Amino acid sequence: MTGADTSRAAADTLTGGPRSGRVRRPGVPLPLMLPALVGLAFLLLPLVALLARAPWRTLPDQLTSTAVWQALQLSLVSATAATAVSLVLGVPLAWLLARTEFPGRGLVRALVTLPLVLPPVVGGVALLLALGRNGIVGQWLDAWFGITLPFTTAGVVVAEAFVAMPFLVISVEGTLRAADPRYEEAATTLGASRFTAFRRVTLPLIAPGVAAGSVLAWARALGEFGATITFAGNFPGRTQTMPLAVYLALQNDPAAAIALSLVLLAVSITVLAGLRDRWMTAS
């Protein structure tokens, strides 16, 4: 319906004028319309402000500084690595939750989703207690293999994966539940072991769900702040990801913070656009 149509429809409604044979579409009630518009403005206003106050003149200088590139590179690499970890561990976990029966499965699913609702800072503290130098597992990693995770780039990946993996597990599990398990049975009758059936039939069938889950996990990892700063600290070039850099810059150089934020916004919009084209057009 075009704008002209809308206004004519509104006029018709006001005057109670006759309508041509079309079924009248009821108007949007004010109690719904008003909050909806406020909500929309609430979501968009901060983004508009970010663009309005962006230091466009000095932006090229800001963005070419090594600190920015270091942080961006670290963010992209660690978010991608965290997504890879989530895929390798999360897809089998989702399969286990969706396709097998074992006692306490409901509890396990609840525990898997816990990091979704857990404040990331708490997650960071928990990671320190588990994988820190004196953590219940970390002390053995240190003693036996000389591996220390906290305050390293690997630590960033661990923190991000901890927070992002549940997104992937939930997404893939949902897709698996919606997928017809009889395809696996068909594969079995053709001589495929359960793993072959998973690899050659199930995985290709749920690929769109896995991809969507990966993008969600990647975006969540990219924006991770609380768990990262708690577990991995804030060392430029090593553990200082973009969100950390933004926060730090805001203290002494707001213009730099805005520039960094614009970069993250651009990355997010690119991801969203890619997601829309590939997996969201169907819905």
How far apart CA 225 and CA 79 sit, in angstroms, is 12
How far apart CA 256 and CA 264 sit, in angstroms, is 13
Pick one of 39, 204, 237, 254: the residue that binds other proteins (CB under 8 A).
204
Query: Does residue number 100 form part of the binding site for other proteins (CB under 8 A)?
Result: no
Query: Segment 163-182, which members bind other proteins (CB under 8 A)?
Result: 180, 182
Q: Which residues are CB-contacts of 197 (< 8 A; sequence separation ≥ 6)?
A: 184, 187, 188
For other proteins, the closer CB: 187 or 257 = 187
Pick one of 193, 253, 269, 273: the residue that binds other proteins (CB under 8 A).
193
For other proteins, the closer CB: 212 or 264 = 212
For other proteins, the closer CB: 186 or 280 = 186
Whole-number Cα distances in Å, 202 to 125, 194, 206, 271: 37, 10, 6, 26
Minimum distance, C-beta of residue 279 to other proteins, in the bound complex (Å): 16
Minimum distance, C-beta of residue 162 to other proteins, in the bound complex (Å): 32
CB atoms within 10 A of CB 223: 20
* Structure-token match 């509890």, residue found: 107
Residue 167's nearest CA partner among 50, 269, 279, 85 is: 85
- Give me the DSSP letters along 132-177: STTSTTHHHIIIII----TTSHHHHHHHHHHHHHHHHHHHHHHHHH
Pick one of 94, 97, 187, 227: the residue that binds other proteins (CB under 8 A).
187
Minimum distance, C-beta of residue 207 to other proteins, in the bound complex (Å): 8
For other proteins, the closer CB: 28 or 207 = 207
Minimum distance, C-beta of residue 181 to other proteins, in the bound complex (Å): 10
Query: Does residue number 186 form part of the binding site for other proteins (CB under 8 A)?
Result: yes
CB atoms within 10 A of CB 177: 14
Query: Does residue number 192 form part of the binding site for other proteins (CB under 8 A)?
Result: yes
Contacts to other proteins by CB under 8 A: 180, 182-183, 185-194, 196, 200-201, 204-205
